[in-house]
Amino acid sequence: MATAYHNLSSYDPAKVPLGTEMKIGIIVSEWNENITGAMLTGACETLQKHGVLSENILVDYVPGSFELVFGAKHLAENKEVDAVIVLGCVVRGDTPHFDYVCSGVTQGITDLNIRYDIPFIFGLLTTDDMLQSEERAGGKHGNKGDECAIVALKMIDFYRRNLEG
């Protein structure tokens, strides 16, 4: 597994663009709120650490992970954001529901990245059990929210640099 080799909260601060001129939307699933809330805290703290003003971090919620795609699309269409971070957590159960939700959200975020000129950052934890989720929401493997914040800053910078050329 990738997180066995790389902590989600590890990065080189010197390689992170300054976010003072960036506005970022974050859409959060209310399902598994103990996990998604920790991921949201990590994302917001990391964005602010790198210069994003708190008033330029727009947070909204949807009931579950499947609804993240609609929420992300809504933020992109109705708010002037430079990126949208999607935060959710799906834990494998005894039915195929896990596979359908994970597949749908993955395809939906991929489609949004193709259709819009802003990055949509995939922050959906897909774990076998709650312990794995906790380990990735501020536990021994770091915080997926931190990673998503850094990816958002880097992708906004990437987009802006490639507009100029």
pLDDT tens digits, 74-103:
999 999 999 999 999 999 977 778 888 889
Using DSSP, how many helices (H) and how many strands (E) does the chain show? 5, 6
Instruction: Find out whether 106 and 122 touch, Cβ atoms under 8 Å.
Output: yes
Whether the predicted pLDDT of 1 surpasses 60: no
Q: Which is catalytic among the residues 6, 74, 97, 141?
A: 97
3 state DSSP class of 112:
helix
CA–CA distance, 49 with 124 (Å, rounded to integer): 22
pLDDT band at 165 (very low <50, low <70, confident <90, very high): low
Which residue's structure tokens are 């954001």? Answer: 81
Average pLDDT over residues 2-7: 69
Query: Is 141 in the active site?
Result: no
Q: Which domains does the chain have, with CATH numbers?
A: 31-164 (3.40.50.960)
* Beta-sheet pairing, 142-143 with 137-139: antiparallel
